[in-house]
Amino acid sequence: MYVCVCNALTDRKIRSLSECSRGTVADAYRALGIKVQCGKCVPIVRSILDGPQPETPKTASIPAFAMPSQLGVGLVDA
């Protein structure tokens, strides 16, 4: 969803910012290489920055080399 028409900025792009770029609206805009123009987007960008962050996908811990039985799979009989 576009949240800043002046800069064609979407909520997805704001949410994709790294943690260190998410301080203030000015920090976020600076990280994105854009500037506030009319300012109508500032409250919604602030609410996105203050809102819940997307969860980091959890990855299973799989060793570099694992036996099929360690992965919970069996060998196929021929």
28 contributes a contact to ligand FES by CB under 6 A? no
Instruction: Determine, following the binding rule CB under 6 A, whether residue 30 of this chain makes contact with ligand FES.
Output: no
Closest CA to 22 of 59, 47, 58: 47
In the complex with ligand FES, the residue whose CB is nearer, 22 or 44, is 44
Q: Classify each residue of 18-42 as buried b or exposed e, where b means 16 or more C-beta atoms within 10 Å of its C-beta.
A: eeeebeebeebbeebeeeeeeeebb
When asked if residue 37 is in the footprint of ligand FES (CB under 6 A), the reply is: yes
Region of 14-22, 32-40, 57-65, 70-78 interacting with ligand FES (CB under 6 A): 32-40
Spatial separation of the C-alpha atoms in residues 37 and 1, rounded to whole Å: 19
Binding region for ligand FES (CB under 6 A)? 4-7, 36-41
